[in-house]
Amino acid sequence: MKRVVFIALSVLIALSPVFAGGAKENAAAPASATVDPKYAPYQGVTLTFIRHSGYEADWMAEMAKAFYEESGIKVNIEQVAYSEMKNKIVIDISSENGSYDIIATTEYWLPEFNEGGWLADINTYLNDPALYDPAFEIEDVSASLLEANSIDGKLLAMPWKFNSQFLYYRTDLIKTAPKNWSEMLELARANTEDGRYGLSLALGKTCVMDVYLNCLYQNGGAFLSADGKTCLLDSKEALGALEYLIQLSQYSSAGSINNHWDEAAANFAQGNAAMMPAVNSQLNNVINPEKSAISDSVGFAEWPGNVHAAAVSSTWGVAITRNCKHPEAAYLFIQYMLNAKRTESLVEGTMGAAVPVRESLLTSTSLNEKYPHFKTMNAISNQPGHTYVYPKTHQTTAIMDVLASYVQEAVIGTLEPSEALAKAKAEIDKML
C-alpha cells in the first residue's frame, strides 16, 4: 500500500506544564526537545486510560511511555481486574465529571455506552488531515471489524484485536481434526480414559454463553430475530445445540462448570484433555513451553459444526470518552499505538495470541509461518457464515448473563434443556 511521508519542520518547544483534570502541575518535559507539529498543541496534556490488567496492558504502558517521549502527551494507564472493569467504566463515564479519557472496550458493550452518549465518534479525528497520519493506514483495518465497532455511522472504538473460538487438539492423540459434531463426540469419547478427558471445556459463567452460541450457530440456528426484538431460543436448532453441548460436557472434567478460559487452557496445557474449544487469547498458555507440557504437540482447526463451522467472535478496541477534555490528543495516542508496526510487536509479544485486525498482519507470510493458528483465524474471519458477533442491543450484557445462567442449569441437570431455553427466552424477550 502506498505510504505518504510528510517531512515537517521541527518545532522547538519550551518546557510546558501538564494538565490533569483541568489543573496544571509541574512535570518533566519529554527527552526530545523537538516535537511533530501535530502534537505541539497538546504538549503538557495528561490523559487517563483504563483497561484490564495483563500483558497487553503492560505493552500499552510501554507504548504510552514512548509516545510521551515523542509527543509530550502523557498517558497514565490504570490497570484493573477484568471482573471489575465494566462496572468501573460505567460509573465513571456516565458521570459528567468522570476522570477517564480513554477506555478499552469490547464491541458488545458499545450499544449501552452509545445509548448513554458516553463516547466520542473517532471518525471525526480520522477525517481531520491535521491529525490523521497516512502511515496509520486505516484501509488496512478489517472493514467488517470497524463496522462491528460502529453504531449509526459512528466509529465508537478503534479495534486492535479480535477473539474467536477454535479447536485446539493434541496431535499426538488425534491425527486428523474432527469435521463435524459426530466425529468430535466420537473423538471425545475415545480419548476419555486413564484419567484423561476428551475435552477441556470452559463452562463458567463468563464463558458458557459463548460456548453455547457457537453450538447454536453451528447448528444453523439464530439467537435473535433480524429486528432484534424476539429471542429465538424456542427453535429446534437451539434445543439441538444445547443437547449437543450437554453431550460434550460428559467428556470433560466435573470442574468444567466453574472453569473460565484460562482454567480450561491450564487443564489442557497440563495434558489432561485431548481437545479444547477455546478462544485464541489462551494461545500463549498452550504453546509456551514454560507453561505447557504439550507445547510441541498442539494442532489447530475450526471448531466443527453440524450444519457448518461457526465461531462467535468479538473485538477489543480503544474508545474516547465524552468527558475527555483533549479528544484530539487521545486520538493521536490511539493512532500512534495501533499502527501496523507496533501492533505487530504486540502479536509477537503474545506469541500470536493477540490476533490483529489488520489484513497486512493477518496475511503476513512470516506471521503465518510462525503462528499456524493464523490460518484457522483467517478461515474464520474470511469465510461467509463462519463468523458471528454479539447482537447490538443496549441490553446485551444482561442478556448474556441470563443465557449463561440457564445454559449452566441445563448442563448440570437442574433443568431440562427445553425448560432452560423456555425460561431464558421469556426473560430475554422482556428485556428486548
Greater model confidence, 137 or 9? 137
Cell matching residue 153: 455511522
Q: What percent of the chain has pLDDT over 70?
A: 92
Q: What is the pLDDT of residue 381?
A: 76
pLDDT of residue 313: 85
Is the model's pLDDT at 9 over the cut of 50? no
Give the containing element (helix H, strand E) for 309. Answer: none
Q: In one letter, which amino acid is 220?
A: G
Contact 203, 249 (CB under 8 A): yes
Of 23-37, 116-130, 370-384, the poorest mean pLDDT is in 23-37
- What is residue 20's predicted lDDT score, i.e. its pLDDT? 38
Summarize pLDDT for 71-120 with one digit per residue, the tens: 999 999 999 998 899 999 999 999 999 999 999 999 989 999 999 999 99
- Cell 465461531 belongs to 311
| Tally of CB atoms within 10 A around 52 | 16
Query: Quick one: pLDDT at residue 29?
Result: 52
The helix or strand, by DSSP H or E, that contains position 315, with its residue range, turns out to be strand 311-320
Q: Is the pLDDT of residue 27 over 50?
A: no
Does the reported pTM lie above 0.75? Answer: yes
| Three-state DSSP class for residue 365 | helix
pLDDT at 408 over 90: yes
Instruction: Return the beta strands (E) in 185-251 as ranges.
Output: 197-199
User: What is the grid cell recorded at 93?
Assistant: 463515564
Q: Rounded to 10 degrees, what is the CA torsion of 122, 128, 130, 136?
A: 60
Q: Which three cell numbers stand for residue 20?
A: 490533569
Distance CA 37, CA 59 (A): 26
The DSSP string of 1-29 is: -------PPPEE----PEEETTEEE--PP
| Domains along the chain with CATH numbers | 11-161+315-366 (3.40.190.10), 163-313+371-431 (3.40.190.10)
Do residues 140 and 359 touch, judged by C-beta distance below 8 A? yes
Per-residue model confidence as pLDDT tens digits over 352-400: 889 999 999 989 999 999 998 888 888 887 777 777 888 888 888 899 9
H-helix segments, 371-416: 373-382, 396-412
Statement: residue 62 has pLDDT above 70:
yes
Contact 355, 161 (CB under 8 A): yes
Assess whether pLDDT exceeds 70 at residue 314. Answer: yes
Helix (H, G, I), strand (E, B) or coil at 382: helix
Pairing of strands 273-279, 158-170: antiparallel
